[in-house]
């Protein structure tokens, strides 16, 4: 494996909407800008597949703007450590990278929140976003019965996508109560594009049952999921299915900000008016600072990108728009807040840490995440606590005790030789090649 040293005025980590916006506006004003992402495409998970054949005008607009901006894209680059101030270590299939920067913008997005319940480890139980990604990649679902359950607007979007690929949707089960959802819907007139999207999706899903105030009790089956048991708190019933797409909204990917020392508040990175974190020269945008969607990330990305290159007055012009999307994010949070009953879904014997096969009974004996690691290995498997960490935080109120490099699994060779003087390489991936 080759090694390379790269140096830029500004490095942006994360090629979703926020990262694309930040890199584009900064590069348009001169200076050297690099965008790093661990996927092979621009757009992040939300705009997955849009670079090849875009069906979303906003995605096409920003991908084209980035490609014309002069910023450099380094794709399939997993940032796994930061040994010194102003330095990132990353790994691509072609090389180990030492990336130096003067300013850094983190736009690492969010992942699905999974909560343990009886049967959640059965084959065929997947996250809504994960299933959507597999289907886009060609995994067949035509004719298969898919129950979509959990919480958040992603459930409806995923059901809409699955329907277009021929899946049969017997039920969409949203845990949030109907009254809260009605209040949220009543405020969508302030966001005409969101209202239009919601109306269009509801129209396409006409005839598919959507139940609010309903949540999973368990999944059942032999070699794979065959049925789910749901409840509304008063009665329970069973729905037959071939797949269960279940997720409980999103949790931010704060591993890299925490590794760099960025302060958090209520689980999100704390930033100032220019998206600056508590660490000098490090900005954070998008879901890292609050779950509010792609529109909020685009605005925050532009503010951070402009501020990072010294264009603070131009950045201020976006403050009012950011406030508007912050209000939308706050409304989302209120509408889809998780009900306390979900903390009782996992029984004593239910696996909480899937990587290390640790039950709820085992971790309940511990006082915090650190003790759970020491006594049960909960959070020490391949996912490094990305699934069980968020779950135990919801179940027990535990905060993650520490973050250490590597942030993502990498080759041992990269860890052992990261400090060696590297040889230059020329085949770093470029989205236009």
Q: Tell me: the pLDDT tens digits for 330-381?
A: 999 999 999 999 999 999 999 999 999 999 999 999 999 999 999 999 988 8
pLDDT tens sequence across 99-153: 999 999 999 999 999 999 999 999 999 999 999 989 988 899 999 999 999 999 9
Q: How confident is the model at residue 420 (pLDDT cuts 50, 70, 90)?
A: low
pLDDT of residue 418 exceeding 70, the answer is: no
Q: Give the mean model confidence (pLDDT) for residues 90-97.
A: 91
* Owning domain of residue 82: 2-111+252-333
Both 220 and 263 in one domain: the answer is no
CATH number of the domain where residue 132 is located: 3.50.50.60
Q: Identify whether residues 105 and 144 lie together within a single domain.
A: no
pLDDT at 401 (0 to 100)? 65
The answer to whether residue 408 is domain-embedded is no
Cβ atoms of 247 and 112 closer than 8 Å: yes
Kindly report, residue by residue over 185-221, the tens digit of the pLDDT: 999 999 999 999 999 999 999 999 999 999 999 999 9
Reported as a pLDDT band with limits 50, 70 and 90, residue 421 is very low
**What are the helix (H) ranges across 39-97?**
57-69
Within 10 angstroms of residue 26's Cβ, the number of other Cβ atoms is 30
- Same domain assignment for residues 132 and 240: yes
> Is the same domain home to 143 and 242?
yes
**Whether 345 and 290 share a structural domain:** no
Cα–Cα distance list, 351 to 230, 368, 372, 392 (Å): 19, 17, 14, 12
Instruction: Reply yes or no on whether the pLDDT at 77 is more than 50.
Output: yes
Beta strand extents in 107-249 (DSSP E only): 110-112, 125-126, 146-151, 172-174, 210-212, 215-221, 225-231, 236-240, 243-248
Domain's final residue, options 248, 268, 286:
248
Let me know if residue 256 belongs to a domain. yes
Percent of the chain with pLDDT over 90: 82
pLDDT computed for residue 422 by the predictor: 44
Same domain, 127 and 234: yes
User: Are 157 and 198 contained in the same domain?
Assistant: yes
CB burial string 216-238: b at 16+ within 10 A, e below? bbbbebeeebbbbbbbeeeeeee
* Nearest-angstrom CA–CA distance, 142 and 376: 41
pLDDT band for 2, please (50, 70, 90 cuts): confident
* Beta strands at 243-248 and 172-174: parallel, antiparallel or unpaired: unpaired
Are the C-beta atoms of residues 246 and 151 closer than 8 Å to each other?
no
- Whether 425 has a pLDDT exceeding 60, the answer reads no
The mean-pLDDT minimum among 47-56, 98-107, 110-119, 158-167 falls in: 47-56
Q: Are residues 118 and 107 in the same domain?
A: no
The pTM for the full model equals 0.92
Domain match, 92 and 172 both: no
- The last residue of one of the domains, among 220, 248, 276, is 248
164 located within any domain: yes
Residue 418 domain-assigned (yes or no): no
Instruction: Tell me, yes or no, whether 236 and 260 share the same domain.
Output: no
* Domain-located, residue 377: yes
CA terminus-to-terminus distance, the chain: 21
Domain closes at, from 248, 271, 306: 248
Query: Are residues 241 and 142 both part of a single domain?
Result: yes
Question: What is the band of 417 on the pLDDT scale with cuts at 50, 70, 90?
Answer: low
Same domain, 187 and 68: no
Helices 128-136 and 154-164, axial angle in degrees (round to 10)? 30
Number of domains in the chain: 3
How far is the CA of 324 from the CAs of 259, 294, 295, 348, in angstroms?
31, 13, 10, 44
Task: Please check whether residue 86 is in contact with residue 102, taking contact to mean a CB–CB distance below 8 angstroms.
Answer: yes
CA distances from 58 to 152, 161, 379, 410 (A): 22, 18, 38, 34
Residue 278 to residue 283: CA distance in whole angstroms: 9
Q: Say which residue, 70 or 421, is predicted with more confidence.
A: 70
3-state secondary structure 145-158: EEEEEEECCHHHHH
Classify residue 163: in a domain, yes or no.
yes
Q: For residue 137, tell me if it sits in a domain.
A: yes
Task: Classify residue 410: in a domain, yes or no.
Answer: no
**Which residues, at least 6 apart from 382, have a Cβ–Cβ distance to it below 8 Å?**
355, 409
Q: Count Cβ atoms within 10 A of the Cβ of residue 13 and give its class: 0-12 exposed, 13-18 middle, 19 or more buried.
A: buried
């Amino acid at each position: 494996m080759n090694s390379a040293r790269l140096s830029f005025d500004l490095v942006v980590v994360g090629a979703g909407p926020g990262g694309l916006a930040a890199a584009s506006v900064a590069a348009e004003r001169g200076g050297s800008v690099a965008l790093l992402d661990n996927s092979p495409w621009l757009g992040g998970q939300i705009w997955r597949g849009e670079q090849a054949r875009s069906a979303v005008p906003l995605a096409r607009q920003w991908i084209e703007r980035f490609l014309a901006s002069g910023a450099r894209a380094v794709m399939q680059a997993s940032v796994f450590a930061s040994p010194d101030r102003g330095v990132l270590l990353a790994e691509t299939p072609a090389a180990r990278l030492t990336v130096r920067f003067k300013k850094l913008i983190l736009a690492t997005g969010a992942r699905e929140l999974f909560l343990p319940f009886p049967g959640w480890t059965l084959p065929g139980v997947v996250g809504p976003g994960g299933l959507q990604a597999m289907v886009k990649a060609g995994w067949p679902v035509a004719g298969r019965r898919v129950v979509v359950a959990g919480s958040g607007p992603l459930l409806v979007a995923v059901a809409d996508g699955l329907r277009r690929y021929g899946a049969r949707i017997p039920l969409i089960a949203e845990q949030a109560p109907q009254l809260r959802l009605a209040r949220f819907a009543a405020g969508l007139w302030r966001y005409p594009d969101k209202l239009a999207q919601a109306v269009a999706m509801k129209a396409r899903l006409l005839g598919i049952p959507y139940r609010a105030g309903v949540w999973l009790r368990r999944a059942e089956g032999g070699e794979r999921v065959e049925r789910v048991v749901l409840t509304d708190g008063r009665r329970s019933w069973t729905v037959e299915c071939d797949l269960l797409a279940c997720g409980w909204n999103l949790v931010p990917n704060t591993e890299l900000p925490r590794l760099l020392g960025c302060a958090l508040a209520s689980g999100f990175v704390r930033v100032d008016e220019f998206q600056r974190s508590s660490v000098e020269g490090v900005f954070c945008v998008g879901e890292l600072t609050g779950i509010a969607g792609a529109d909020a990330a685009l605005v925050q990305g532009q503010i951070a990108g402009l501020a990072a290159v010294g264009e603070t007055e131009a950045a201020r012009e976006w403050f009012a728009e950011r406030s508007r999307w912050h209000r939308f994010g706050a409304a989302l949070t209120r509408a889809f807040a998780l009900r306390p009953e979900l903390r009782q879904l996992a029984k004593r014997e239910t696996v909480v840490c899937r990587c290390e096969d640790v039950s709820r009974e085992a971790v309940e004996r511990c006082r915090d995440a650190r003790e759970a690691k020491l006594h049960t290995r909960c959070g020490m498997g391949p996912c490094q606590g990305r699934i069980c960490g968020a779950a135990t935080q919801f179940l027990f109120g535990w905060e993650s005790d520490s973050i250490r490099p590597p942030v993502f699994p990498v080759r041992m060779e990269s860890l052992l030789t990261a400090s060696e003087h590297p040889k230059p390489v020329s085949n770093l991936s470029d989205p236009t090649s």
